[in-house]
Each structure stands twice: as structure tokens, then as C-alpha cells.
Structure 1
Amino acid sequence: MMQSENLPLSWPFDGLMDSSINHLDSSEISSVSDFDRMLFDEIFRHPAYDFDDQVQVTVPWEEFSVPLVGLDSMLTDAVGEERQDVWSPCLSSEASISMTTEQSSLAMPYLGEAMMETDNQLALFHLFTAYGEAKENNQTELAEVILRSVSEKASPVGETLERIAFNLSSQDVRNQRDYLLQKSSGNFEVAFKAFYQIFPYGRFAHFAANSAILDAMPNNSDPLHIVDFDIGSGIQWPPLIEAMAMQHKTVRLTSIRWGEEGYGHSPWRFNDTKLQLCHHARSFGLNLKLEEMGIEDLANELDGMKKRGGSREWLAFNCMVGLPHMGENKNRKLVNSFLAVAKQLLARNRGIITLGDGDACEKLKDCSGFGAFFDGQLSHYRAITESMESDIAKHLVQARMAMECLFIGPNICAQAWFQKWEQVNETRRFEATTMEGLKVSRERLTEAKEMVSGRENSYEVRIGGNSGNELALAWRGNALVKVSCWRN
């Protein structure tokens, strides 16, 4: 059984900082770069970082056509003086703020500010509902007008619905959104480290899948052959590699190579991931065989091995899709193709399927129309955005904005949601009817709950699935991540 304390990973970051972080003196802390320093309070709780990356997340205000709202004390000039051209975080983006206006806004009663925020949120709520209905009724021109109204109330650092509106809205703010994404992308690696470590979504899904693989694998099986739908940075596998090394077993890891069509651009290069994973495995005395191939080539190879007398390999087909740290969601048709091949191969071989799903699309298949589907997507991303707010210090607005731009924003798009709705009936729900659901053990449930203990009480870990084979992470009743497992 894999222990939960192994899960806050240092991967893919070199230089695991164990207890040494507790001995940093003030001179060492002062050398930390701006972005790292903004995240220092959060990272201090998770000592799995080095601070070698010298990065800075800034937005050149003189080039940005609409000033950003509420960047607080992080907006400083070269001599450390607070900028004076910052909009008040309480005001609508429709206003034109001068110093006089800003000073007067600070004197407004708090109740007045709260009412303005509430009015903007309520207006957005009604606009979202109207947009969904207009698209459902094929009122294209009306939908475009509504989306422009949404743009007028959008802000990348406003309240939750305002930030969702900023990513969702029309071309009026799309250039500004793309500009923020471009600037944030320069700090992708350090933002990825922070996102994965601070927020529980990816670590929860990876723990649930890895522990299920270790639970299900027979003691006499060797080697373990992992087939990964989307290996990305490889961040899921170091704890499992360490566990297998302790059992003196070998691991073969196959990353599925997909074509560009329907898959999108990945920020990770397979050769880099391969080098890092193999180096990590060698440091634990495990000789890892890591390769990349197409799903059909893999199926042909495994069938050939079966005909030649079989193999002692125990197969683990792993599919992670729609997890927030993964950025833009992959095409569901590819997911279904991977799962269908996995099911076919496991009818003739021993193994397990682990499916970690953070995409709202799958649970919205039974919606009566696009309006309900659209509302479901909004609820899902609102829950993610609010849970992020609860896990990161309120004054780290700029850092949170960068992470939202990189990992959440790409999946919030009105046009993409409508395309998903049009395709939703073409992608059937995966059913492993010929396989046994791997029931979540009490130990796995307890350790998963420990991962979110000490956080906002709004997090919930629960068991689902027809056979109790699903472990889910929810926020205020909204499922953010579900991990289901089946074995033959």
C-alpha cells in the first residue's frame, strides 16, 4: 500500500527540499524571485520546491488596453513604491478611474461596495442564463449581443463570475485574455509546480490511481506494464516507481502517441519526460523501460506476444483527462478510443484500467438541452475557481491570475462548450461491463481524506460508482475529480 506522505511530489522539480526549507535564513529568502516570493507562504506548507528558477510575473500596464483590477500591493515599481494607477477591486470594469475617483471610492461605505459587487454578479448570472437559452434556440445574433454584454462586466481579477466571464466572453476582450496568457506562459514551469503542489486536484487523482494499481497487482506479477494515455510531465509516476523499486520489481511504461488533430499542443516534450523519469528510477535502483508508440502498434504488439505464448506482464491502462493542471482538455473521442482498446486487450491479458476524469462534459451527457449543459459547465468551473481561492492567500492575486490563465482559462470558452454539446451524443459513456469494478478500500479512502484535511471544510472525498469503484473529490457538492478503476 502506498503511503499518503509519499504523494506531495517533488517531480519534475530537481532538488527535493526536505527539512532544509525550515532552515532558510532571511538572506536566502531575499534572493527568491518575485513570483516565487509571492508563493512562498503557500509553498512553505509543502516543502517540495527549490527556488532556482528566477521568474517574474508582471503585466506591462502601459501596453494593456484595459487596466487590471485589484493587484494589491504586488504592483510596485523599481524602487518599491506602490503604483497609483490601480483600479479599485470593488469597482466595475465599466468605469474610468482617475486618482480623484479612486480616492472617493475608498471612502464609500463598505455596504455600497458590496452592493456594487453583488449587482454585477447577479447581472452576469442572468446574462449567462440568457446566453444558454439563446444558443439552445438557435438565436445566434442575440447570443452574440449577450456575450458582448458579458464582456463589459468581465475582469481577470474580479469576483468569481467576473473572472469566468473574462475567459468566456467575446472578441471584445479576447485579445487581452490572449495577451495575459502569453505573458503567463513565460513562467509556465514554476506556475505548474505551484499549481500541482498547492491545489489537490492532480495529486488526488494520481494518488487514487496509483494506489489502486498497487492494490490490484498480484504479488507474483512482474513486470508492471503501464500504458499512459497522456504522460505529460510524468508527474504521476515517481511514487509508483519508488514503490515498485522497494518490491524489487521492474516497470515498463508506454506513452501513447496521438496525432495533432483533436489533441492540442502539449507544453511537454516526451524525450525530456523520459530522461527525468529514467533518472529518477535509476536513483532508486530500478531500470525503467520507457517508450512511446501509437495505440494500434501497442495492440498489435500485445496480441503478437499472446500468440507466441503469452507474457507475464501485468497491464495498467491509465487515463487522466480534464484535470485542471493538464490545461486544455483532450478530445473525448481519443479518450474513448483508448479505453475501448484497453478493454479489448484486458479481455485477453491480466490488468487494470484507471480513469481519472476532471472534465464536466461526461457528467452532463443527459442534459435536456444546451442551456442546461451550459449551466453545468459554469457550475463546474465556478467550483474549481472558488476552491482555488480558498487554497491560496488572498493577497497573491497576480500569482493566482497567472495560474488561472494557464490552467483554467483555456477550458472556459463559449464556442468550445457549444461544440462539445454538439458532439456529446457522438461519444458514448465508457462501460466496462465485462470487467470487475475495483472497490475503494477503507485505507485508500482514509488516505485520500488526509490529503484534503486541514483545508477549507468545503472539500469532500466520497465513494461512488455502481460497485463502489469510484473515488471522487468534491467542492461544496460539485464533483471536481472522479477516479474509477476496473480489473479483469
Structure 2
Amino acid sequence: MLTNLPSVLGLEDLDPNFNIDLEEMRDWLENGDHRESDDSYYHQLSIYQEVTDTSMDVTSIIQPILNLTTQDMEINNELCTSHLAKAYGEAMANEQREFAEVIVRRINEKVSPVGEITERLLYHSFRPLNKEANDNYLKQESCKVFDAAFEAFYRLFPNGMFAHFTANSAILEAIPHDAGVLHIVDFDMGEGIQWASMIVALAQQQKLLQQFGIISQQITLKLTSIKWKNGDCIYGQAHPHLRFEETKKRLICYANCHDLKLKVEEMELQDLVSEIKKTTRRGRRREWLAFNCMWALPHMRRRRRRRHVMEFLKVAKDFLANSDSNKTSNDKNNGIITFGDGDTWEKIEDYSCFGSFFDSYQEHYRALLESMECNFHKRLAEARIAMECLFVAPFASCVALLEKWKEVKEVCEFEAGFGLKGVRLSSESLMEAKVMAREGESLYTVRD
């Protein structure tokens, strides 16, 4: 038996022997007596019922003929939700937003925060459309333990720690011995967790250099966090300035404990450029610059827009290029740029197709959920759920998804690397990175 169904549902990948007769479907929907006796049939056909309930013009989305059969067919829930997710991507690509909303409602009926990986990902992806009390409850309960969850997440998963370690190692290995000030310009300081380890490493390095008589006095560490406007992040915290003040006090106290001079400030990018130029004109060449940009790493509470990443890196590159052109043969390098990119940008095959973008987006967060599941014992499921609510849900949500898609279309010309020259880590740092990532024991691999 043949019938025409919208291929946007993504059902073409199901069993070709699964047949549905359109007239039989209508008769069945009109006859309520069979609903309780044939539950599986109801679930298989309820997608069509949802479409008709919304008074959509189904004929406008009719695609090629499909061969489907109803006998002895059981669809695994995870497989079903995967096809629905594909259907959502196709519907959005075809600008069939009403139909996409129908699919989202169907997905929300099938997913929960305690299901399999695909189910959990779709729950977090589309939960802004859920008005269930358990959504608010999970979020509220997770926020109560944010500090403990943040520390545990950062230590358990090497994504952020590895990016910070790599950047800090590159900076420490590149600092000239005669530098009086190490000035680090940070794209987004956040919780400041990257600089705690830098404080310890720099203090130890300076003490060793003093012991061997290489330097006479310790270097001063200066941290400048770029101040962005509140509307410059896709998802962020309510009071970023208050968070900065807390981070500043904590870092200064930590530096004092390690006998390291530390200055922390916040400044807009344009003001920083002017200040650096003034410093250079005064001849203070002993200030060595490091531009640090960590973006979209899993532990970060907020995500700045991609165009601000590009703006920051362009300013850093232009400044260092001008510094190199003005230096004498006796001058050493004037600075370094460190960049940690945790986003899916380079994985998108087709910038013009929402379906390709959606698939890469889902693949990225599915990999993160797989990593979390591998690192947590089943008895710690509640802790894993809390971390997923805090560190996955905000960025996997359809709200963030659509914001990101808008950004992709605006800034699709992003150039990976910006033509910057890479710096190879020392063999010692590379070995430490492999130990940190538990290479051979986890899903992670370290490559130079």
C-alpha cells in the first residue's frame, strides 16, 4: 500500500517494509475504540494527527512516496527521537516553522533528563518550550550547588583545564627573562580559574630564576579583563561586574599567598588599545604582552559573540605586528596570542544550510554528554544531571541554537587561525598534557 507523507519527518530511513495507508489512517483516527487496544499504532500515527490539528497545508510539504507497513513494528524511543530531531532540522531548513513546532511538541512528549544520551540532549535542546514544573525545579536545585559543581566539572573534564594549561605553558615559555611586567589581556576572565594555576607556576618560575641569578627581582603580573556590554553575550550571568569584583579579590589574595605582585583591572577594548600605545610611546619596553582568548569552553558560564572574538584577535594581531615592525634587532618578541576555541564553528560543512548546522551542533553536545556519562558512575546520576543542567542545557537549548545560527549567517567568513604562526609546546609540557587528559584511559587524545 502506498501513501504520500512529508519526507521532512525523516522517516525515509526507517524500515522500508513499514506501510501506512492514508485512508486507513483517517479511518483509524476517527475510530477512538482502537486507541487503547493499539497503543503502538497510535504513537506511530500521532505525528499526522498533530499536523492536521494545526490546520497546516499538508499538501505543501508532501514529498516523495514512501513504502511503510504497520505490522509487528516497534520503534525504539531513541531511534524515534533521532528521526524527529532530523525532521526538525529539515523543517527549519525549509522555513516550515509551524511544522517544526509540531515536531518539537512531539519530541517533548518522548524525552526526559534521565533517558539515554540522545533523549537527554533533546530534552535540554527544547526544554524552553516545556512549561513543566520539573524544569524549574531541576534548574533551581542545580544552581544551589553551582560552586561545587563548577569545581568538580572543571577537574573531571579536561576540556577547560587542558586549554588553560596549554595557554599558560606557552606564555611561561615565551616570557623574556628581562621582562619587568607580564601583562595578560584576557578576552573573558569569568571565574578567573585559569589564572590561579598561572600564579602558582609564575611564582615558582621566578623563584628558580632568582636562585640561579638569572634575574634580580620578580616580575609583576598584570591582568586586564576586557569589559564587554551586557548584550554582547548569547547567554550570561545577571551581574558580570559584581562577579569580576569577587574574582579580582580572590586572585589578589591568592597571589599574596604566593608572594607574587598582582594587579587586576577591567577595561573596554578600545580604551586598552589607547593605554597600550601610550605605554609603548613612553618607552616602557619591559612590559611583555600576552593576549589570551578562551571561548566556548564547556565550563564557561557565558558565551560572547563570535564577532567579538574576531575583533579581539584582530586587535591583538595588529598590535603585535606593529610592535614587531618597530623593534630593533636586539629586541625579543613583544608578545604572544593564546586562543582556546571550544565551539563547533569549523565542523559546519555548509554555512547556508540549517540542517547541516543543526547536525553539527547536536553532534558537538552529544560528544560532551558521552564524555560526562563515561566519567560518572551510575550511582552519581543526580550529580551528572545537575552538571548537565548547568553546563550543557544553557548552550544546547533552541534559544542558544537559533542565536548561534543567526551569528553563523552574519559571520560565516571566520578564518581559523587568522594567519597566526603556531608555537609548538615543549616535550615536557606535551607529556604533562597527556597525563592531564588521561590519554589511553579516556575518550581524549592529545596532539601537538
Structure 1 range deviating more: 320-329 or 263-272: 263-272
> Does the Cα contact within 8 Å between 1:245 and 1:285 map onto a contact in 2?
yes
How far apart are residue 138 of structure 1 and its match? 0.7
Q: Which moved more, 1:353-362 or 1:316-325?
A: 353-362
Q: 1:135 aligns with which of 92, 103, 112?
A: 92
CA distance, structure 1, for counterparts of residue 385 and residue 80 of structure 2: 23
Tell me whether 1:158 sits opposite 2:129 in the alignment. no
Residues 205/273 of structure 1: CA separation in 2 closer, same or farther (3 Å cut): same
How much has 1:394 moved relative to structure 2? 1.4
Q: Deviations over 1:441-481 (max 9, x none)?
A: 33332221111227744322223xxxxxxxxxxxxxxxxxx
Does 2:378 match 1:370? Answer: no
Greater share of residues in helix:
2
- Measure, in 2, the Cα distance between the counterparts of 1:373 and 1:323: 19
Residue 462 of structure 1 aligns to a residue in which SS?
coil
Alignment partner, residue 423 of structure 1: 407
Q: Where does residue 209 of structure 1 map in the other structure?
A: 167
Amino acid at match of 1:259: K
Shift, 1:415, TM fit: 3.9
After TM superposition, give the deviation of residue 295 of structure 1 in Å.
0.8
Aligned positions of 1:274-293 closer than 5 A: 274-293=248-267
Distance 2:403 2:260 in 1: 45
Alignment match, 1:266? 237
Note the residue ranges of structure 2 that are not aligned, 5 or more in a row: 1-42, 44-72, 207-217, 324-333
| 1:298 Cα deviation after fit | 0.4
SS at match of 2:266: strand
1:337-376 aligned at under 5 Å gives the runs 337-349=311-323, 350-364=334-348, 366-376=350-360
2:223 equivalent in structure 1: 253
Q: Cα deviation per residue 1:273-324 (whole Å; 9 max; x = unaligned)?
A: 1111111111111110111111111001011122233432111111111111
Q: 1:366, CA displacement in angstroms? A: 4.2
Q: Give, as a single letter, the amino acid of the residue that structure 1 aligns with 2:358.
A: F
- Asked if 2 retains the 8 angstrom alpha-carbon contact of 1:166 and 1:173, the reply is no
Quick one: distance in 1 between partners of 2:301 and 2:264? Answer: 24
Aligned counterpart, 2:295: 321
CA–CA distance in structure 1, aligned partners of residues 202 and 408 of structure 2: 39
Deviations 1:368-396 (A, max 9, x none): 51101100011100000010111121111
1:309 aligns to what? 283
Q: Distance in 2 between matches of 1:119 and 1:221?
A: 63
Deviation at 1:418, TM superposition (A): 2.9
User: 1:430/1:172 Cα in 2 relative to 1: closer, same or farther (>3 Å)?
Assistant: closer
2:220 partner amino acid: T
Q: Which amino acid aligns with 1:182?
A: Q
Instruction: Give 1:16-415 correspondences, 5 Å limit.
Output: 119-169=76-126, 172-175=129-132, 176-246=134-204, 247=206, 248-263=218-233, 264-266=235-237, 269-349=243-323, 350-364=334-348, 366-415=350-399
Please give the root-mean-square deviation of Cα atoms over the aligned residues, in Å.
Answer: 2.2
What is the SS of the residue equivalent to 1:133? helix
How far apart in 1 are the matches of 2:339 and 2:167?
Answer: 8
1:227–1:317 contact (8 Å) kept in structure 2: yes
Q: For 2:367, give the aligned amino acid.
A: A
1:444 is aligned to: 429
C-alpha separation in 2, matches of 1:149 and 1:252: 53
Counterpart CA distance in 1 for 2:178 and 2:350 is 43
Asked if the contact 1:244/1:250 (under 8 Å) is kept, the reply is no
CA distance in 1, matches of 2:415, 2:256: 37
Q: Secondary structure at the match of 1:319?
A: strand
8 Å CA contact 2:224–2:267 kept in 1: the answer is yes
Residues 76-100 of structure 1 show CA distances to partners (whole Å, capped at 9, x for unaligned) of: xxxxxxxxxxxxxxxxxx9xxxxxx
**CA offset at residue 171 of structure 1?**
5.0
| Partner in structure 2 of residue 26 of structure 1 | none
Q: 1:126 to 1:434 in 2, by over 3 A?
A: closer
Match for 1:260: what amino acid? N
Q: Does the Cα contact within 8 Å between 2:156 and 2:375 map onto a contact in 1?
A: yes
Q: Distance in 1 between matches of 2:138 and 2:294?
A: 27
Query: How far apart are residue 270 of structure 1 and its match?
Result: 1.1
> Are 1:343 and 1:432, in contact at CA under 8 Å, matched by a contact in 2?
no
Q: 1:245 to 1:431 in 2, by over 3 A?
A: same
Q: Distance in 2 between matches of 1:411 and 1:204?
A: 21
Displacement after TM superposition at 1:128 (Å): 1.0
Inter-CA distance 289–171: structure 2 relative to 1 (3 Å threshold): closer
Map of 2:5 onto structure 1: none
Distance in 1 between residues matched to 2:195 and 2:187, nearest whole Å:
13
Q: Secondary structure of 1:458's match?
A: coil
- Counterpart of 2:115, as a letter, is G
Structure 1 partner of 2:6:
none
Contact residue 350 and residue 356 of structure 2 kept, 8 A: no
Aligned-partner Cα distance in 2 for 1:335–1:361: 12
Match of 1:325, SS state, is coil
How far the C-alpha of 1:159 sits from its partner, in A, is 0.6
What TM-score does the superposition give when structure 2 sets the normalisation length? 0.73
TM-score, L = length of structure 1: 0.67
**Post-superposition CA distance 1:314-343 (Å, at most 9, x none):** 111111111111134221122122112111
Q: Distance in 1 between matches of 2:381 and 2:160?
A: 22
User: Which piece of structure 1 moves more, 317-326 or 237-246?
Assistant: 237-246
Residue aligning to 1:35: none
Change (3 A) 1:444 1:282: same
1:195 is displaced (CA, Å) by: 1.0
Could you tell me the percent identity over the aligned residues? 48
Structure 2 letter corresponding to 1:266: Q
SS at match of 1:461: coil
Question: SS at 1:255's partner residue?
Answer: strand
The count of corresponding residues between Structure 1 and Structure 2 is: 349
- Cα contact 1:135–1:143 (8 A) shared by 2: yes
Letter in 1 for 2:335: G
Pick closer, same or farther for the CA change 1:418–1:457 going to 2, 3 Å: same
Cα shift at 1:183: 2.2
1:437 shift after superposition: 1.7
Provide the rounded CA distance (Å) in 1 between the counterparts of 2:445 and 2:260. 36
